[in-house]
Amino acid sequence: MDLLPLFMAVKDRPVLVVGGGKAAARKAELASRAGAAVTVLAPEISGDMATLIAERKLSHVTHEVTREDLDGCVLAYGASDDEALNEKVHALAEACGVPVNIVDRPELCQFIMPAILDRDGVVVAVSSGGDAPLLTRMMKARFETLVPAAYGRLARFAGRWRDRVGKAIRDGDRRRRFWEEAFEGTVAELVFAGRDSEAEHAMQAQLEAAAKGTEGPPRGEVWLVGAGPGDPDLLTFRALRLMQQAEVVLYDRLIGDGIMNLVRRDAERIYVGKSPKNHTMAQEDISALLVRLASEGKRVLRLKGGDPFIFGRGGEEIEALAARGIPFQVVPGVTAANGCAAYAGIPLTHRDHAQACVFVTGHGQEDQAPDWQALIQPGQTIVVYMGLSALPELAAGYIAAGGDPNMPAAIVEKGTRPDQRVIAGTIADLPARQEAANLGQPSLIIIGTVVTLQGELAWFETAQG
Ligand code: SAH
C-alpha cells in the first residue's frame, strides 16, 4: 500500500479549487458536499461551475493565484486547463505545506481522490493508487450491488441508539453481539423497508431483553421473495441479500439450480414444489410449515418463481403469517410476463399495437375458463399464465367469444432460461403448432398484435433453438 487511506474532516475549513471547468467543478462539489468552505479561483467558469457556485453558495474569485490564497487551506486542487497555472498552484501549496492534488498529474499529487460509494454517509472509498482509475470505478460498481441503498439510514438509526445501548450494555462483547443482531436481523430489515417506527419498537424490545440478560431465542421471520422467471441475473439485490441470510428455504418447482446455488450454502432446503396436476404439498401445509419454522426462531426464505403476488399465492401465505403475528417481508420479483416478453422480443405494449395488457390465469379456481368477452379488447395484449395444458380449449374459447382467429399469438417456454423456446402463429393455429413443437412447462401464452413485432426476428418460425 503506497497511500494512507483517510477520511478527513473538512467541515467549514477552507479548500481552494483553481480552475473553472468540469474537472474543477467535480472537485469543488465533492469538497463542498463534505462541508468544506470552498473557494473557486478562476478567471472564467463553465456552465457546470456557474451552477455549482450558485447552488452551493461557493466563493468565486478571479485574481492571479498567490500565496495568500493557499495560506490556511486544508486542501488545494489544481484543476485548470492551464498547465502552468496548475504547476504554480502546486509550488505555492508545497511552500505553504498544504496537501495538493493536480488533475491528471499523479507526480504532482500529494493525495488522490478515490472512487466513492456514498450511502447517505456510509462511505466506501476505493483507490488503486492512481494506477487504474477505471478499475476502481468498476470495483465501486460491484460494491453498489452489495450494499443496500438504505445502509446510510441504518447507520443514522444506529447513531441515534448508540448512547442508550452503550449505557444499557456495559460489557463490550455482549454489546458487539447486540449490534450484530440488530444489523443482521429484524431491526435492519425494518429500517431497509422504511418501517422506522416498527424498527424503533423492535430495537427497544431487543435492548430491554439484552439489558436484563433475557434475550430469548432469536425471533423468527419469513421472507417471501420473488426469484424472477429463471435467469439468476434477474434477481433483485434485496432478494440476493435475503437468500444469503436465510437459515431455511422453501422453494418451488419453478426455481432453477442457477438460483438455488445463490442461497446460503448451509441453509436447510425444503422442496415444496407443485406441478399443475401433481400437488406435492398442499398450500395449507406450506403455510403451516412457514408458521412452524418461524415460531422456532428461524429466518425462513420462501422463494417463489416470478413475483410472489402474481399468481404466486403469496397473499394466502402472508395471511397465515399475519394471523399468528409472525413478522414477514415481501420482495417483488420480475414476473414471467415481463421476463418472457423481454427475452422473446415481444413488447407487451406498443404505441401502434397495444395500450393495455392483462395477465390472466388459464385455469383459475375450479378450472374456470377466462372471461374472454371481457378480455378481448382492441389494443389489449393478453398474457395467459398456466395455460399450456388447456391451450386447445383456450383458443376455441377465444374464437367462440368473437375474437379474431387470425390474432397473432405466441408461446414462450422456459422464458429467460438458456433453453428458452418460442413458437408464434395465430390463436387459431397455435394449438396445432404446439402439437408439433410439444413445448413443456413452464410456458406462457401471449395473445395480441404485439406478437408480430417478434416478426422482425421471424415470427412465423415454428420453434426457436
Ligand atoms: N408468480 C409467478 C407465476 C406463477 S404461476 C410469476 O410471477 O411469474 C406459474 C406459471 O407462470 C406457469 O404455468 C407459466 O405460465 C408461468 N411461468 C413462470 N415462469 C415462467 C418461465 N420462465 N417461462 C414461461 N412461463 C413461466
240 CA → ligand 1 middle, Å = 20
Regarding the beta carbon of 307 and ligand 1, being less than 6 Å apart is answered yes
- The whole-number average pLDDT for the span 380-400 is 96
pLDDT digits (tens, 9 = 90+) for 342-377: 999 999 999 999 999 999 999 866 667 899 999 999
Regarding the beta carbon of 305 and ligand 1, being less than 6 Å apart is answered yes
Catalytic residue selected from 69, 231, 252, 307: 252
- Domain containing residue 378: CATH number: 3.30.950.10
- 307 shares a domain with 395: no
Regarding the beta carbon of 267 and ligand 1, being less than 6 Å apart is answered no
Domain closes at, from 181, 212, 243:
212
Rounded CA gap, 212 and 14, in Å?
49
Regarding the beta carbon of 326 and ligand 1, being less than 6 Å apart is answered no
- Confidence (pLDDT) at 462: 38
- 346 shares a domain with 305: no
- 389 shares a domain with 346: yes
The answer on pLDDT for 452 being more than 80 is yes
- 311 shares a domain with 354: no
Is 327 inside a domain boundary? Answer: yes
- Confidence (pLDDT) at 366: 61
391 CA → ligand 1 middle, Å = 15
Regarding the beta carbon of 444 and ligand 1, being less than 6 Å apart is answered yes
- Domain containing residue 225: CATH number: 3.40.1010.10
325 CA → ligand 1 middle, Å = 30
**Checking phi first, is residue 176 left (phi over 0); if not, alpha (psi -120 to 50) or beta?**
alpha
Range name among 73-87, 134-148, 247-261 with the lowest pLDDT average: 134-148
Contacts of 419 (CB under 8 A, 6+ apart): none
pLDDT digits (tens, 9 = 90+) for 76-88: 999 999 999 999 9
Is 364 inside a domain boundary? Answer: yes
pLDDT digits (tens, 9 = 90+) for 211-234: 887 666 666 889 999 999 999 999
The answer to whether residue 173 is catalytic is no
444 CA → ligand 1 middle, Å = 7
- Domain containing residue 83: CATH number: 3.40.50.720
Residue with the three cell numbers 428455504? 249
The answer on pLDDT for 389 being more than 80 is yes
- 305 shares a domain with 237: yes
**Domain carrying residue 256:** 221-334
Is 232 inside a domain boundary? Answer: yes
437 CA → ligand 1 middle, Å = 19
Q: Which of 304, 277, 311, 279 is nearest to 390 (CA)?
A: 277
The answer on pLDDT for 148 being more than 60 is yes
The answer on pLDDT for 461 being more than 60 is no
CB 189 within 8 A of CB 329: yes
Domain closes at, from 334, 351, 385:
334
- Domain containing residue 208: CATH number: 1.10.8
Is 138 inside a domain boundary? Answer: no
The answer on pLDDT for 43 being more than 80 is yes
Range name among 14-18, 57-61, 132-136 with the lowest pLDDT average: 132-136
The answer to whether residue 307 is catalytic is no
- 457 shares a domain with 343: yes
**Quick one: which atom of ligand 1 is closest to the CA of 445?**
15
CB 336 within 8 A of CB 305: yes
- The whole-number average pLDDT for the span 155-174 is 90
More confident residue, 39 or 282: 39
- Confidence (pLDDT) at 218: 64
- 387 shares a domain with 451: yes
Domain closes at, from 64, 87, 113:
113
Is 71 inside a domain boundary? Answer: yes
- Confidence (pLDDT) at 364: 62
Is 134 inside a domain boundary? Answer: no
- 325 shares a domain with 269: yes
Regarding the beta carbon of 220 and ligand 1, being less than 6 Å apart is answered no
450 CA → ligand 1 middle, Å = 20
Give the chain's domain count: 4
- Confidence (pLDDT) at 141: 81
Regarding the beta carbon of 312 and ligand 1, being less than 6 Å apart is answered yes
443 CA → ligand 1 middle, Å = 7
- Confidence (pLDDT) at 173: 75
- 313 shares a domain with 276: yes
Is 429 inside a domain boundary? Answer: yes
- 192 shares a domain with 239: no
Contacts of 225 (CB under 8 A, 6+ apart): 238, 239, 242, 243, 301, 302, 303, 304, 308, 330, 331, 333
- 364 shares a domain with 327: no
Is 235 inside a domain boundary? Answer: yes
Regarding the beta carbon of 335 and ligand 1, being less than 6 Å apart is answered yes
Mutation pick for ligand 1 pocket among 311, 346, 447 (CB with most ligand atoms within 8 Å): 311
Regarding the beta carbon of 252 and ligand 1, being less than 6 Å apart is answered no
User: Angle at Cα 236 formed by Cα 251 and Cα 319, nearest 5°?
Assistant: 50
- 342 shares a domain with 319: no
Mutation pick for ligand 1 pocket among 304, 316, 365, 386 (CB with most ligand atoms within 8 Å): 386
